[in-house]
Amino acid sequence: MRRRSQNQQYLSSSFVRITIITASVFSFISLNLATPNVTWAKSISSSERSSKFLFIDLQSHWARKFVEGLLSNQSLSNLLVSPDSISQFQPDRPITRAELANLLDAAFANGKAPKITNRLNEPATKAETLVAIASQLNLNIKATKTPQAYLLSMYRDASQVPDYAIPAIATLTQEGLVTNYPDPRILAPKDTISKSELAVLLYQALAYQKKLPLLKSPYTINPNRQLWDRELMQVTSLEVSISRRTVTAFHGEIPLKTYPVAVGREGWSTPVGNHRVLQTIEYPAWRNPFTGDVIPSKDPDNPLGDRWIGFWTDGKNWSGFHGTPNRASVGQAASHGCIRMYNEDVRELFSQVTVGTVVKVSP
């Protein structure tokens, strides 16, 4: 057993009394270091109160400066600090969805943001929390053109981000509002969020709104420092899901982006199986298979749009990816076996594939 020094024995058996004098108003703080118990005497005027945060379990914690800064907001302080154990903040305690809802209301008071009203006793995940904060900040979650690819370039576990959370988390990341401890590159989106993690995210969101001074942390992800440059990654394969009406572009096993598509209608099914891109044509002309009439390239009524990526033929008929003037058909079973895409999407895909790119079509 280690022997205590005389100073340690003295500290563990004594009381520290701090007197705060503010405009002739006295507040007394008594701290018993032997039995953690901090008693705060209320000053006469709350506007003149001087606060000291003496949480024993927060002194060397990575989130300390964010927590103490956040507690300057009295409403948040009332929710975050338990009056029964005021000497301990419990930074690693999981947060419930009910607690998250109350803290969001206190922090932002955004009546237009969606409210958390169900599964209130369940723990809140980090993904749920980030989506909720993005809503409270009224961020444009569609601002990131390729959110899935962007997250894959930022986090090693980006594949674990739920689909519903991808746009919001990508936007928050680009704004520099995501902090991950101990590894900034590990998001852990499905894990329960802790009290200290939530406090850091709330502080950063309020600083983003210029309601609190900006604080920096080595655990905040740098939005401009990617693991790899997704823009330079060539598409090596395309995976089409007929049932989901989607095509996902891959580089190796890394999904880069998923696009909505229209597939073949009944009697004109899109050919299932493994194929390869056979031809790519910019501004294709279209020949009506029934009448033989031709609609020239660049005609606004051309049903192929302005890009064609052919991947299957029986020598007479073809199937491929192409644009369409009928945007409402995307997402439906509406074509004669081809895969229709929004014109802007097929242009993007056209620039990333080559003859030989693998195309996998599944039911």
Residue 61 annotated as catalytic: no
List CB contacts of 197: < 8 A, sequence separation 6 or more.
Answer: 63, 126, 179, 181
Which of 61, 251, 275, 338 is catalytic? The answer is 338
Q: Quote the tokens at residue 189.
A: 């989106």
Query: From start to end of the chain, where are the E strands?
Result: 15-22, 25-32, 37-40, 237-241, 246-251, 254-260, 263-264, 273-276, 279-282, 286-287, 294-295, 307-313, 318-322, 333-335, 339-340, 358-362
User: How far is the CA of 237 from the CAs of 16, 246, 311, 338, 356, in angstroms?
Assistant: 68, 14, 12, 17, 9
Q: Are strands 25-32 and 237-241 parallel, antiparallel or unpaired?
A: unpaired
Q: What are phi and psi of 112, to 5 degrees?
A: -90, -15
Distance from C-alpha of 361 to C-alpha of 274, rounded to nearest angstrom? 6
- Residue of 240, 241, 272 whose CA lies nearest to 349: 240
Q: Beta-carbon neighbour count of residue 256 at 10 Å? A: 22
Which of 61, 251, 322, 336 is catalytic? The answer is 322
Distance from C-alpha of 176 to C-alpha of 182, rounded to nearest angstrom? 17
SS3 category, 307: strand
List CB contacts of 33: < 8 A, sequence separation 6 or more.
Answer: 11, 12, 14, 15, 16
Residue 275 annotated as catalytic: no
Q: Which amino acid, one-letter code, is at 330?
A: V
Distance from C-alpha of 275 to C-alpha of 210, rounded to nearest angstrom? 53
Active site residues: 322, 338
